[in-house]
Amino acid sequence: MSDLLKVPTMEEFMAQGKQPEILFWVGSAGSFDDRAKKITRAFVKILNKANVDFAVLGTEESNTGDIAKRAGNEFLFQMQAVTNIEVLNAYDIKKIVTCDPHSFNCLKNEYPGLGGVYEVIHHTQYINELIASGRLKVEGDLYKGKKITFHDPCYLGRANNEYEAPRDVLKQTNAQLVEMKRHKRTALCCGAGGAQMFKEPEKGDKDVNVLRTEDALETRPDIIATGCPYCNTMMTDGVKAKEKEAEVKVLDIAELIANTLNL
Amino acid sequence: MQYLPNIIFAVALILGFGYFAKNVKKLIRNIKLGQDVDVSDNKSERFKNMARIALGQSKMVRRPVSGVLHVIVYVGFIIINIELLEIIIDGLFGTHRIFSSLGTAYGFLIGTFEVLALLVLISVTVFWVRRNIIKLKRFWKSEMKGWPKNDGNFILYFEMVLMSLFLIMNATDVHFQAMNSGNVISQYIAPLFSGLPETTLHIIERGAWWLHILGILVFLNYLYFSKHLHILLAFPNTYFGKLKPKGQFNNLEAVTKEVKLMMDPNVDPFAAPEEGAEDVEPAKFGASDVQDLNWVQLLSAYTCTECGRCTSACPANLTGKKLSPRKIMMDTRDRLEEVGKNIDANNGEFKDDGKQLLGDYITHEELWACTTCNACVEECPVSIDPLSIILEMRRYLVMEQSAAPTELNTMMTNIENNGAPWAYNQMDRLNWKDE
C-alpha cells in the first residue's frame, strides 16, 4: 500500500516554484521509531485523502533539540534550533503541522525567540480543522460502540492548554468516549517527558507508565487513544506490563481516523 | 500611672511592627540576591492573575474541601482584622469599644466577626484533624518532618487561640452583652462565666483583650520564620508568575550569543579578544546555588506554604521517586536563609561556606527524576514554578559539569552527529515513506 502514499518534499516544491499549504514536521520519532512511523503514515493517508497540499523536509529535517533542552543542554538545543530555522526560513515556511506534541511545543513557543516564527499546530487540531471545514468527512462504524479513553499528552494539554481538539476528533469515530479519573489538566504524565524516554528511571516503587496505564485500564477501555509518539510507546509498554495487550489496543488519533476511513 | 496601659500598648505596637519591618527588609534583601529578570510586561494581565488567583482563590477551590475551608479562614482573617482598628485606638487612647457609638451598625459588624470567628475556629479544627488524625498523605511526606510539621500545627494553634480569645473577650464584656446587639455567638459563651463577680469578669475580659492583641503581634512576627508568609507573598507571587504557555522554557541568552558566534562564518576564530574582555567573567550556565536563580524564583521559595498539592500530583513522587517539587521550594528557601544569615554574620558580604543548593540540599537523583510534565506548576495555588528551578539546575549539571546520566549523553551525541536521538543516519530520515 506504501506506493499509494504521496509525500512530496520541500525541495521538490521549490524546484517547481510552488509553496505548499502546510509543512508536515515529521520529527525524529515519527521518522525513525518503528511504532511512530505507523502514526506518520496514517497521518499522511489522511492528508492525501483530504487532498492537502503539504510537504515534508525529508533529509533536510533535523531534531528540534527539544529533548536536549529539557535534559539541560541548552547549547545543543539552540544549535539544532538555529540550524532548523535556517532551513525553514529559506523555504519561507509559514505553517507547520506535527504529530509530536514535543516538537509542537518547541517549534511554537521556543523557536520564535531565536528567529523562527511560524504558525504551528498539532495534528489533532489540524484533523479537527479539516473536518470542520468539510475537507475531510469521517464516516464509518469500525469503532461504533467501542470504549475509547484518551490520554492527554502533557505538552499538548497542560503545556499548551489544548484539551478539546483531540476529543472532538475522537467523537467522529462514533465510539464511546470515557474519561480517566485524572484527565485534562490533572492528567498524569506517561513518564517519557523531560528526556526520561532516553534513560532508565530513577529508583522508585513503580514505573510512571504502569501507573498511568492503570488509570486507563480502570475505565475498562477497548482502546487507549494517544496523541504523541512517546506516550504511545509508554502506554503500549504499560499495557504489556499489565498483560492486557490481547484486549486493549493503544492507537494514535491519526490511526483511529485513518482506520475509520478504511485508508 | 493612669497612662501605664496606654504606654505599654504603644511600646508593644512599636516593637511588634518594628521587628516585623526589620525582617521584611531582610526578606527583600534576600530575594534581591537573585538574578534580575524582566517582569515589567503585561501589567493588566498580571493584575488580573493576582485578582483571580490570590484575591479570588480560584485555584484553591479546585480541591473543594480544603479549598472552601481555606476561603473561610482567608475571608475571616481579612474581615476580623477590621476589628484591629478599634483595638488599636482603644489601646492607645484608653477608650473602650470606641466604635460602639455606631449603634446597630456596630452590632452588625461585631456580629459578623463573631460568626466568622466561629467558622474559622471550625475550619482550622478540620485542618488540624486532616493533618494529625486523618493524616493526609501529602502532609506526611519525608520533607514534612520536624520543623515543617510543627510549623503547620503551630499556625493552626495560633488561629484557634486568637479566635477563642476574641469570642471570650466579647462574652465577658458585661457592657457589650448588655447591649445585646452583635453578640450572636458570644451570648452562648457568656453563660459559662455566669455567677462570676463583675470584677473577675472584667479581669478575664481585659486578659483576653491583651492576649488577643499581643497574640496578633507575635503571629505577625512569626510569619517571617514560617511557611505562613504566603498570606502576604501570594499576592506579589501571583502577579509576577509565568504568563507564557507552561511548556515554554526560556532560551538562555548567554548561549544564544555563543551559538550565533559559532554559526557566523565571518567570525575569525583566532582573533585576539577585545580590550578588557579577559576581565569579564564568562556567564555561568544554569544554577548551582540560590544566587544563580532569578529573584522571582526566590520570592516563590518564600511564598511556598508547603501544602504539597504539587508533590501529590508529581508522577515521579507518585511512583516512589525521591523528587518532590515541594521539597525543591523548601530547600531553596532554607539555603537562601542560610546565605542571608551568612551575609548578616559577615558585615554584608557573603563568605564562601563550601556549600550550595545543588548537592548539599537538592540531589542529582531528584533532578533527573523530573518528567517536566508541569503537573506541579498546574497544581500550585499561588503560581509557583518548581520546574523552572529543576531545569536551571539540570542546565548547570549538563553545561558546566557534563554530569548528565550516561544514556542521556549518548542521546545528545546522537543528536549532535545525526540529528536524531538514536543512532540513525540523517539520510534515512524519509525512509518511512517507502516502508
Same domain, A176 and A243: yes
- HEC profile of B44-111: HHHHHHHHHHHHCCCCHHHCHHHHHHHHHHHHHHHHHCHHHHHHHHHHHHCCCCHHHHHCHHHHHHHH
Res A2: pLDDT: 46
Is residue B9, in this structure, part of any structural domain at all? yes
* CATH code, domain carrying B262: 1.10.1060
Mean pLDDT of B304-327: 98
Instruction: Determine how many CB atoms are found less than 10 A away from the CB of residue A119.
Output: 12
Same domain, A143 and A88: no
Is residue B364, in this structure, part of any structural domain at all? yes
d(Cα B237, Cα B248) in Å, to the nearest integer? 19
Q: Is the CA virtual torsion B344, B349, B354, B359 positive or negative?
A: positive
pLDDT in tens, A15-40: 999 999 999 999 999 999 999 999 99
pLDDT in tens, B75-117: 998 888 888 999 999 999 999 999 988 888 999 999 999 999 9
Is residue B194, in this structure, part of any structural domain at all? yes
Instruction: Assign A185 to helix, strand or coil.
Output: helix
Contact A74, B397 (CB under 8 A): no
Contact B161, B215 (CB under 8 A): yes
Same domain, A122 and A193: no
Same domain, A36 and A126: yes
Instruction: Tell me how many residue pairs between chain A and chain B have CB atoms under 8 A apart.
Output: 218
pTM: 0.95
Which of A28, A30, A72 is opposite residue B404, by nearest beta carbon? A72
- Provide the domain count of chain A: 2
Is residue B240, in this structure, part of any structural domain at all? no
- CB–CB contact B373 A206 (8 Å): no
Q: Where in the sequence is the domain holding A56, given as residue range(s)?
A: 2-130
Same domain, A171 and A222: yes
Please, which pLDDT band fits residue A1 given cuts at 50, 70 and 90? very low
Residues 82-121 of A with CB under 8 A from B: 82, 105, 108-110, 113-114
Minimal CA separation from B209 to chain A, in Å? 46
Is residue B47, in this structure, part of any structural domain at all? no
Same domain, B220 and B318: no
Is residue B142, in this structure, part of any structural domain at all? yes
Instruction: Look up the ipTM and state it.
Output: 0.95
Res B269: pLDDT: 66
Same domain, A173 and A197: yes
- CB–CB contact B249 A110 (8 Å): yes
Same domain, B226 and B292: no
- CB contact A177 to B (< 8 Å): no
d(Cα B362, Cα A48) in Å, to the nearest integer? 51
pLDDT above 80 (res B311):
yes
Same domain, B27 and B106: yes
Minimal CA separation from B62 to chain A, in Å? 11
- CB–CB contact B259 A192 (8 Å): no
At which of A85, A111, A130 does a domain end?
A130
- Provide the domain count of chain B: 2
Same domain, B84 and B227: yes
Same domain, B265 and B224: no
DSSP conformation letters of B215-238:
HHHHHHHHGGGSGGGHHHHHHHHH
DSSP conformation letters of A22-56:
EEEE-HHHHHH-HHHHHHHHHHHHHHHHTT--EEB
Same domain, A114 and A145: no
Same domain, B104 and B221: yes
Same domain, B259 and B213: no
Contact A160, A108 (CB under 8 A): yes
Same domain, B212 and B261: no
Q: What angle do CA B314, B317, B321 make, to 5 degrees?
A: 140
Residues 185-244 of A with CB under 8 A from B: 185-186, 188-189, 191-196, 198-208, 211-212
Is residue B167, in this structure, part of any structural domain at all? yes
Same domain, B225 and B348: no
Res B195: pLDDT: 87
pLDDT in tens, B166-213: 999 999 999 999 988 899 999 999 999 988 999 999 999 999 999 999
Same domain, A88 and A173: no
Same domain, A119 and A11: yes
At which of A102, A130, A158 does a domain end?
A130
* CATH code, domain carrying A92: 3.40.50
Same domain, B289 and B218: no
Please report residues of A whose CB lies closer than 8 A to that of B322.
202-203
Q: Where in the sequence is the domain holding B226, given as residue range(s)?
A: 4-31+63-232
CB-based burial label for B69 (10 Å; 0-12, 13-18, 19+): buried
Is residue B433, in this structure, part of any structural domain at all? no
At which of A80, A98, A130 does a domain end?
A130
Same domain, B203 and B348: no
Comparing C-alpha atoms, which of A197, A200, A263 is closest to residue A236?
A197
pLDDT above 90 (res B273):
no
Side-chain-facing half-sphere of B384: CA atoms under 13 Å = 34
Same domain, B96 and B213: yes
Residue in A with minimal Cα distance to B316: A208
Contact B176, B170 (CB under 8 A): yes
Mean pLDDT of A39-47: 98
